[in-house]
Every structure is written in C-alpha cells, then in structure tokens.
Amino acid sequence: MSLMQLAGDFLQQSGIPRPNVALLVSLGLVFGAQQLVPAYTANLKNWYPKLRKPRWTPPNWMFPAIWIPLKFMQVAAIWLIWEKKGSPLLRDDWHLTGPALPFAIFLVHLALGDIWNVSFFGHQQLKPSLPWMGAFWLSILGCIITFRPISLMASNLMLPTIAWVSIAAKLNWDIVQLNSSKSA
C-alpha cells in the first residue's frame, strides 16, 4: 500500500468530509506558498518608494487590498478543480497529461509569483524580474485554459488575477524604463 493510499484511508476514517479537506489543502497551498519566501517588507518601505514610478501607479494600500480577495478566488478555483477531478495526490492515474495538469500548472503559477517577488523586491532586480513576470502571467493563462473544460467557474475565478497581474506587469515594465540605471 502506498503512502498516498494510507493518507487517503486516514482522511476517510477521520470523518472529515472530503470537500473540507480539499478546501483546507487549497487554502494551505495558496496562502502557504507566500510564506515560503522571506518577507521583503523592509524593501517595500525603503527601496520601493525611492523608485521612479509612472503617474498611474496604484497607491501602496491597494496592493494588499486587491491581492487578498484574489488569493481567496484562487483558493476557490483550485478547490473547484479538486472537487471535479478528485485529489491529485490520491489518484492512480496521476500524470501531467491527465488529471494532474491543472494542479501542476496551478503550483507553477504559485511558484512563479513567489519567484517574481523575490527577484523584484528581494533582490531589487528590476529588468531581470521581467521574464519572471511574463512566465507568471503565462502560468495564470495556463490555469484559465486548463481549468475551463473542468469548471467554467474555476476558470473565471482566475480572470481577475490575470487582469491584476497584467497591470503589475505593465507597472514592472514602466518602472524598468524609468529606472534604467537601477535595472541590473
């Protein structure tokens, strides 16, 4: 018996309904992924305000005010996929061309968002962060595309994220242009 089957048996015997387990894991994935990277609050307070930014830059308070609801939408999206497809960890037919593909792309999206944050804020690499932002955007598009045949609602829940990341990508680009001497 595999470790995953043992885990599945444990979850079934625990009396916790599967949707609740799926929801808890979804919450853990989305909000836990952010905790894997060090907090760069000092850079937000000291370095970021000194950068030249376009006039249309959203106020600083808007970033968490928008990201928090987006994260909850992402939780709902991956939870809906989990509910339609079953646990990606407990399936026998786990492979990247089948049921695991939407989960894998979602995990890549979480990782790329963190990598962009580390590159831009952590290492203060303006220009080198651009490809990470592009990959992050493409991974969200991948979620939208792979979620759609499974759950239209899950796919649609990712649309606000790609819209906001599009704004962030344009802001990243404009900051690079305005701070070309700091772009290395």
Q: What is the CATH number of the domain that holds 76?
A: 1.20.1260.100
Neighbours of 157 (CB within 10 A): 23
Instruction: Give pLDDT tens digits for 132-155.
Output: 999 999 999 999 999 999 999 999
Taking residues 121-130, report their average pLDDT.
91
The band of 45, judged by pLDDT with boundaries at 50, 70 and 90, is confident
Taking residues 162-174, report their average pLDDT.
98
Question: Is residue 83 one of the residues assigned to a domain?
Answer: yes
Instruction: Give pLDDT tens digits for 69-106.
Output: 999 999 999 989 988 876 555 555 555 556 688 989 99
Range of the domain at 138: 17-182
Question: Is residue 6 one of the residues assigned to a domain?
Answer: no
Question: Which of helix, strand or coil describes residue 109?
Answer: helix
Question: Is residue 154 one of the residues assigned to a domain?
Answer: yes
Taking residues 92-121, report their average pLDDT.
81
Query: Which pLDDT score is estimated for 66?
Result: 94
Q: Is the pLDDT of residue 15 over 90?
A: no
Question: Is residue 55 one of the residues assigned to a domain?
Answer: yes
Task: Give the residue among 54, 183, 179 at the shortest CA–CA distance from 124.
Answer: 183
Structural domain count, the chain: 1
Taking residues 6-28, report their average pLDDT.
67
Answer with the residue of higher pLDDT: 9 or 119: 119
The model carries a pTM of: 0.79
Rounded CA-CA distance 10/128 in Å is 45
What is the token pair recorded at 163? 């819209």
Mean pLDDT score of the chain: 83
Question: Would you say 78 and 30 are in contact if contact means Cβ atoms under 8 Å apart?
Answer: yes
Burial 160-181 (b: 16+ CB within 10 A, else e): ebbebbeebbebbbbbbeeeee
Query: Which pLDDT score is estimated for 88?
Result: 55
Question: Is residue 10 one of the residues assigned to a domain?
Answer: no
Residues written for the chain: 184
Q: Is the pLDDT of residue 68 over 70?
A: yes
Question: Is residue 71 one of the residues assigned to a domain?
Answer: yes
Rounded CA-CA distance 23/129 in Å is 32
Q: Is the pLDDT of residue 169 over 70?
A: yes
Instruction: Give pLDDT tens digits for 149-159.
Output: 999 999 999 99
- CA of 111: how far to CAs of 33, 54, 120, in Å? 7, 27, 14
Question: Is residue 72 one of the residues assigned to a domain?
Answer: yes
Question: Is residue 70 one of the residues assigned to a domain?
Answer: yes
Query: Which pLDDT score is estimated for 64?
Result: 84
Answer with the residue of higher pLDDT: 165 or 104: 165
